[in-house]
Amino acid sequence: MEALTWAGPTGTFLGPIGLILVIAFAVAVVAMLVLSVVAAPEAVRTGRDLAARPSGAFGLSEAAVRWTGLALLGYVVVWLIAGIVLPYGQAGIIGAVIKRFLPVWIALALTFGLSLAFKRRLGLYGKLFDSTIGMIGFGLVMFWVFTAAFAGLFDWVATHQPLTAVSGLKNEVPGVPMPQAEVVGPGAHYLFGGDNLARDVFSRMVYGSVIVIVIAPFATIFAFMVGITLGLPAGYYGGRLDMFLSFLANLILAFPVILLFYLLVTPEMVQTGLPSYMAMALFIFPLIFAAVFINSRWHTQPKVRTPILIVVLAVLGIVYLSAISQRGTPLNFLPGWLDLFNIPGGILVVFVSVVFVNSPTVFRIVRGLAMDIKTRDYVAAAQTRGEGPWYIMLWEILPNARGPLIVDFCLRVGYTTILLGTLGFFGLGLPPESPDWGSTINLGRRLLSIYPHPAIVPAVALLSLVLGLNLLADGLREESLKD
């Protein structure tokens, strides 16, 4: 069987067109930047708004950027269609990869189509689609979310298992065929080549997204639960409670974040059982938050409040006990028939560490927002109506702080993704055979000058996800400021 080239036979036609479009777009962008600098003094002197009234050479350069950008977008769409429609191998490695991501493209198309159709009914999320930057960031993030979902739940995207090694494919280049492969199709090639243990780089990249998408957002959600539950009363009440909680937060923040992270995930610290006890303390906050949230909303209707509290706390309680009861740790107390799941030791340590490190920062943000918003007139009106403190905090202050918190959440998921990559790069936390992007980059960088693909592929994946989160945060910030 022959090896795949990057573009295959289709590239002989589409390749030169793409090169011309890239050069034209780059020239147009440079021309617009140069002309904007040259035209700016004239615009100031005459009082014109250069951005609002582009004219002359600057207007032409702006139009050139717009049309060449649209042409590049159309070119990408043509490649996507070619990769999906053409037989396997006709569009090379690019087409084969596009075909493997077909479920992801369908999910993205449905998500964007429905969101654009009903965006006026979707609040801040719908307004996100009025921002080009926000849409690009949302698309990048959802690409990896859908990739992780389809790879983890249905095994639809990857071509091989992440730990499967094939003899003879060690450090092979992208597009190398499988030995003795008889059928041309998915799994017949290592699309992005093999790593130093003869495993498929493409499949490890796909399965690595599962680890990142599971840990980073959920750990950040737990950190926000801790920060909101403690930050709201600290900012609202002030006084000694604020001083005590702020002292604890500053005590944790006094340590360098990376150093504190390393200390928490070292094997010696894990053997003491400290991560399990930290999980027992940190994982209780969602229960506290849910109980206070429900009680504050229906405290005047005990017949409604009590059944809801019992059901919610019973479900969350079982999940909480299952999360902290781990085999091989001092907290292995739950019987097997009641233990819903068992979090692997490495993932639990990293998860707890992320929550512990991020919680103080979230606490300080929520505390500052609560101190500012509690002086507003609508809070005074709620106090005049006789509403309780927790009702005011959760139903008056928190909804009006959602803009900054949503933006910070997106940025913090990006920071957490980088932290996970850093830990994996240094071999801390997750097991060595884990396909997470940081560990894969670390394994590939040892032969970077000879075989760059094992390190470059997960590095680009990590870069694209973090870039998407940052762009999404910028889009949300832009739209939230318009409210």
The rounded distance, in Å, linking the Cα atoms of 241 and 324 is: 28
pLDDT of residue 35: 79
Q: Compute CA 51 distance to the chain's CA centroid, rounded to the nearest angstrom.
A: 34
pLDDT of residue 279: 84
Handedness of CA 222, 225, 230, 231 (dihedral sign): positive
pLDDT above 80 (res 371):
yes
Query: Closest by alpha carbon to 420, among 149, 412, 224?
Result: 412
Distance between first and last Cα of the chain: 59
Handedness of CA 224, 215, 462, 137 (dihedral sign): negative
Question: Helix (H, G, I), strand (E, B), or coil: what is residue 386?
Answer: coil
pLDDT above 70 (res 54):
no
Query: For 23-41, what is the mean pLDDT?
Result: 80
pLDDT of residue 44: 45
Q: Token match 């050479």: residue?
A: 57
pLDDT above 60 (res 45):
no
Structure tokens at 305: 């409040």
Q: Token match 């027992």: residue?
A: 280
Q: Which of 100-109, 173-182, 259-268, 430-439 has the lowest mean pLDDT?
A: 259-268
pLDDT of residue 145: 95
Residues 453-463 have pLDDT tens digits of: 888 999 999 99
Q: Token match 């965006």: residue?
A: 119
Structure tokens at 364: 């300080």
Query: For 439-450, what is the mean pLDDT?
Result: 83
Write down the pTM of the prediction: 0.87
The rounded distance, in Å, linking the Cα atoms of 126 and 140 is: 17
More reliable by pLDDT, 131 or 360: 360
The CA-based dihedral angle spanning residues 30, 35, 36, 42, taken in that order and rounded to the nearest 10 degrees: 170
The CA-based dihedral angle spanning residues 261, 262, 267, 273, taken in that order and rounded to the nearest 10 degrees: -30
Q: Which of 116-120, 230-234, 428-432 has the lowest mean pLDDT?
A: 428-432
Q: Which of 140-144, 285-289, 354-358 has the lowest mean pLDDT?
A: 354-358
CA distances from 214 to 129, 180, 209, 351 (A): 25, 36, 8, 10
For residue 353, name the pLDDT band (cuts at 50, 70, 90).
confident
pLDDT of residue 312: 92
pLDDT of residue 53: 47
pLDDT of residue 345: 64
Q: Token match 């700016």: residue?
A: 40
For residue 477, name the pLDDT band (cuts at 50, 70, 90).
confident
Query: Closest by alpha carbon to 397, among 430, 375, 422, 370?
Result: 370
What is the crossing angle of helices 201-237 and 345-373, to 10°? 40
The rounded distance, in Å, linking the Cα atoms of 122 and 110 is: 16
DSSP 396: I
Query: For 244-270, what is the mean pLDDT?
Result: 81
Query: For 3-30, what is the mean pLDDT?
Result: 87
The pairs formed by 331-335 with CB atoms below 8 angstroms and a separation of 24 or more are: 331/273, 331/276, 331/277, 331/280
Q: What secondary structure does DSSP assign to 176-240, as a single string?
A: EEPTT--S-STTSEETT-B-TTSBBHHHHHHHHHHHHHHHHHHHHHHHHHHHHHHHHHHHHH-HH
Residues 143-160 have pLDDT tens digits of: 999 999 999 888 889 988
Whether the Cβ atoms of residue 464 and residue 142 lie closer than 8 Å to each other = no
Q: How many residues are there in the chain?
A: 483
More reliable by pLDDT, 239 or 40: 239
Query: For 272-282, what is the mean pLDDT?
Result: 81
Residues 6+ apart with CB under 8 A from 447: 171, 196, 454
Kind of pairing, strands 176-177 and 189-190?
Answer: antiparallel
More reliable by pLDDT, 392 or 57: 392
- The CA-CA-CA angle for residues 471, 424, 221, to 5°, reads 50
Q: Which of 11-20, 213-222, 429-438 has the lowest mean pLDDT?
A: 429-438
Question: How do the domains of the chain map onto residue ranges?
Answer: 1-100, 202-480
pLDDT of residue 370: 93
Whether the Cβ atoms of residue 176 and residue 3 lie closer than 8 Å to each other = yes
For residue 102, name the pLDDT band (cuts at 50, 70, 90).
very high
pLDDT above 80 (res 130):
yes
Structure tokens at 25: 């777009």
The rounded distance, in Å, linking the Cα atoms of 194 and 258 is: 31
Number of Cβ within a 10 Å radius of residue 307: 10
